[in-house]
């Protein structure tokens, strides 16, 4: 566009020069000087305009490069945002799992404490019962000379002494066996 304007201006100047040359012959030298001056000014202007155009092209190129870089950076930012969102969701899920596990652990601790208390109570009751049984066994041993033996075939043999006042060392015994119905059966006895 600038070159077209320059060509049009050059043409107009040539036409003016030809008209002027025919009408004024005396001042032709002065006009030549003016024409040369105009051409020099026109050449300087063209060079300045060319430099400006090159600068504008370089600025447009830089603008496009910056625009592409901004677009690339925006994509990277979006990818990082997406990754951060995924990580945030994963952390939230892990927190929920941790809360569930903590609640389960608390429930298990409470259940363990209850079972421990139940076991402790049962143990105390068993110890008390064992103590009473031991006292009874000791009493029977002392008074009746009781001795209990486990014999072949999962049988229990009860031996009593101190039954016959005339012969306190004389043994009396019987055997018991637990049948399939979980009832005791007397198997043998000797008096």
* pLDDT tens track for 36-91: 788 888 888 888 888 888 999 999 999 999 999 999 999 999 999 999 999 999 99
Which tokens in the block code for residue 49? 């305009």
Parallel, antiparallel or unpaired: strands 155-160 and 184-190: unpaired
Residue with tokens 């059966």: 185
Q: Is 179 left (phi over 0), alpha (psi -120 to 50) or beta?
A: beta
Which tokens in the block code for residue 81? 């945002």
* pLDDT tens track for 135-172: 988 888 887 888 888 888 788 888 888 887 888 888 88
Q: Average pLDDT of 88-115?
A: 95
**What's the predicted TM-score (pTM) here?**
0.41
């Amino acid at each position: 566009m600038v070159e077209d304007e320059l060509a049009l201006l050059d043409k107009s100047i040539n036409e003016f020069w030809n008209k002027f040359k025919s009408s004024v012959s005396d001042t032709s030298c002065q006009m030549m000087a003016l024409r040369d001056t105009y051409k020099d000014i026109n050449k300087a202007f063209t060079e300045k305009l060319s430099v400006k155009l090159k600068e504008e092209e370089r600025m447009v190129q830089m603008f496009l490069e910056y625009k592409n870089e901004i677009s690339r950076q925006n994509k990277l930012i979006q990818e990082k945002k997406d990754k951060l969102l995924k990580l945030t969701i994963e952390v939230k899920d892990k927190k929920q799992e941790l809360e569930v596990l903590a609640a389960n652990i608390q429930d298990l601790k409470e259940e363990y404490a209850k079972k421990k208390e139940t076991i402790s109570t049962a143990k105390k009751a068993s110890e008390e019962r064992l103590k009473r049984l031991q006292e009874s066994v000791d009493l029977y041993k002392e008074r009746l000379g009781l001795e209990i033996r486990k014999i072949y075939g999962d049988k229990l043999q009860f031996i009593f002494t101190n039954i016959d006042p005339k012969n306190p060392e004389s043994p009396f015994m019987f055997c018991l066996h637990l049948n399939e119905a979980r009832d005791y059966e007397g198997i043998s006895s000797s008096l």
